């Protein structure tokens, strides 16, 4: 059994999660402090990929990154790098679809934060940076970690946008999801079942991790 689809999926999901972890946290932190009107507009924009069909996200990325599109053509001519149909092209897709999960979860954690703790730290002369890393992040860590786990699971299982942006090439761009589809197309039900079981096992582990984090968060609050 060729394990490349699993390794590639884990690699893509890990890189994507690292990216959306920081992007989601800082977006949530600053947007949570904005006026309600501005917050509402930005919320719609940033969470739109969560409700859009993955194929729509993939098409929009192709319009942006395709070799005959302005950005894709510029990168190809300047650096000689194609931004689509490579294994790392899938990272663009998984970042877009996983970001809303990280952002919404982190924002919820920040909005439930007791601001009196920050005010107390300010009276002691602590800076906002110190308060963020030493007070707010530790208090909100369970919710933020849950968002990271959900983002990783979402990136790991992404198919629609990934297949459009990265395609399917065995040993180069194949992921678990695209491999299952290709095996099904070739009537290899046994091979498809093996990868389905692998995906189910991984997803079960991530869901158990999220449930454990939620239980721990409730225990901390109580």
pTM over 0.95: no
Express each pLDDT in 108-156 by its tens digit. Answer: 888 888 888 888 888 888 888 888 888 888 888 888 888 898 899 899 9
Dihedral sign for Cα 64, 44, 143, 32, please: positive
Q: How far, CA to CA in Å, does 54 sit from each of 60, 91, 160, 167?
A: 10, 14, 5, 14
Express each pLDDT in 15-39 by its tens digit. Answer: 999 999 999 998 988 887 788 888 8
Please state the domain extents for the chain.
4-221
Quickly list H helices, the chain.
Answer: 4-31, 36-51, 54-65, 70-79, 89-111, 115-123, 128-131, 137-157, 160-166, 176-185, 189-221
Answer yes or no: is pLDDT of 97 > 90.
yes
CATH of domain 4-221: 1.10.3720.10
């Amino acid at each position: 059994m060729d394990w490349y689809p699993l390794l590639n999926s884990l690699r893509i999901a890990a890189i994507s999660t690292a990216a959306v972890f920081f992007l989601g946290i800082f977006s949530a932190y600053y947007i949570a402090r904005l006026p309600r009107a501005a917050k509402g507009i930005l919320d719609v924009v940033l969470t739109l990929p969560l409700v859009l069909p993955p194929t729509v996200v993939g098409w929009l990325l192709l319009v942006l990154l395709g070799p005959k599109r302005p950005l894709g053509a510029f990168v190809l001519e300047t650096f000689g790098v194609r931004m689509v149909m490579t294994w790392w092209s899938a990272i663009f897709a998984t970042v877009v679809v996983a970001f809303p999960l990280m952002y919404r979860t982190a924002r919820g954690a920040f909005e439930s934060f007791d601001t009196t703790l920050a005010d107390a730290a300010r009276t002691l002369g602590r800076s906002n940076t110190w308060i963020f890393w030493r007070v707010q992040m530790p208090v909100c860590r369970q919710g933020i970690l849950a968002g990271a786990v959900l983002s990783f699971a979402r990136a790991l299982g992404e198919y629609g946008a990934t297949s459009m942006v990265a395609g399917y090439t065995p040993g180069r761009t194949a992921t678990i999801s695209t491999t299952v589809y290709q095996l099904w197309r070739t009537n290899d039900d046994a091979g498809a079942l093996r990868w389905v079981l692998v995906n189910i096992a991984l997803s079960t582990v991530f869901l158990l991790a999220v449930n454990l984090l939620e239980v721990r968060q409730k225990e901390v609050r109580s």
